[in-house]
Amino acid sequence: MLSALIPAAGLSSRMGRYKPLLPLGSSTMIGTVIGLFKTAGIREIIVVTGHNHDRLAPAVKAAGARPVFNPDYASGMFSSIRTGVAALPPDIKGFFLLPADIPAVRLATLTLIRKNFEVAEDTLTVPAFRGETGHPPLIPARLIPAVTGAGPGANLRQILFSDPRRIIQLPVHDRGILMDADTPEGYDQVTQKYENLDIPDELECRSVIDRELAGAPAIRAHLERVCEVALKLAQSLHSCDIDLDTNLIRAGALLHDIKRKEARHAEAGSRFLRQLGLGKAADIAAVHMDLTPGPELDEAQVVFFADKLCRGDQLAPDYHGRFHEKARLLPHAEKEIFKRLETAQHIHARIQAAVGRSIRDIVG
């Protein structure tokens, strides 16, 4: 059994407002973090309270977690962690540690950490984004006595990293593990991140690309070119009041061929991205080969068409000839090929009609 420990006892002095009860999505920061662990199947969730205990404890209980008061909260976070660890059930195999002000972590990230921990339950599993470690670590039960028995001057990091041989630094594509709402600026960034959790930002996209396509420069170059073209198309549509989500377009373009080396790569890429918690990017990857356009231009259509305008890393607006050549070489797939051509021509006409400029002029 695993547990979760959420320190939330601090003064929120740098924020200027009480962080745990600040709004986030349809809940609060503390409600969001508790909900994350509940969705992950963690039943024993402890929230360590201190400052504003009387305000926070009812919210913690209402969200389905157990508040534990730390009377010595003013001495720092380690005292709260030690208080919370002492209250953990005796039969657990380990516990997640996630401060209340780091709420923009994806469920898929917790799932990945948990799966790795299950293979080696005696190890400390720490997520890392592009080489930088973050939260939540999954701490094995063997370290509990060291935490509860530590003196007041002890440092949690020293305890956790005391034996490098028993640590797994787990690469994840989730920048939320590094983002805390410790200041008003940090809170704004976390809020924006949380509202778009299923759309990877550019750094997260490049993290995925670096790991999955390290030895595929041609595919990487194609993704960059498709992204450039797709964003030009989106910018032109924005100029005529068709506002699409450029973050989603960027993510869809950069990741649409992430499993290009595999059979049925659109399905494989979509499945892979969905496992990472990147549902909207996965939706685009799924249809970048075969798309049925909806009544309005959308992000998936822009990425689909940008892909057809690129041959490798080169802009090639005369895509019609390529489709006819491919149909000649693959007569058994002629119907599907010409269907894609028809879709590309349909989107082509839509964009030109909306913008009032030729595609060649737009993508230049």
Q: Do 208 and 311 belong together in one domain?
A: yes
Regarding whether 293 and 145 lie in a shared domain, the answer is no
Q: Which domain holds residue 355?
A: 202-363
CATH number of the domain enclosing 339: 1.10.3210
CATH code assigned at 188: 3.90.550.10
Output the pTM of the full model: 0.93
Same-domain status, 258 and 165: no
One domain, residues 157 and 18: yes
pLDDT digits (tens, 9 = 90+) for 137-174: 999 999 999 999 887 677 888 898 888 889 999 999 99
Where does a domain end: 195, 228, 259? 195
What's the structural domain count of the chain? 2
Identify any residues that bridge with 90 across adjacent strands, giving them in sequence order. none
User: Are residues 177 and 46 part of one domain?
Assistant: yes
- DSSP H helices, the chain, are 29-39, 53-63, 77-86, 107-119, 144-148, 156-160, 184-195, 202-212, 217-238, 246-255, 265-275, 279-287, 299-308, 319-329, 334-355, 359-363
In this structure, the answer to whether residues 292 and 224 fall within a common structural domain is yes
Residues 183 and 209 in one domain: no
Last residue of a domain, one of 195, 224, 250: 195
pLDDT tens across 109-134, in order? 999 999 999 998 899 999 999 999 99
9 and 156 share one domain: yes
Listed residues 142, 161, 195: the one ending a domain: 195
| pLDDT tens by residue, 236-268 | 999 999 999 999 999 999 999 999 999 999 999
238 & 184 share domain: no
Q: SS3 of 278, please?
A: coil
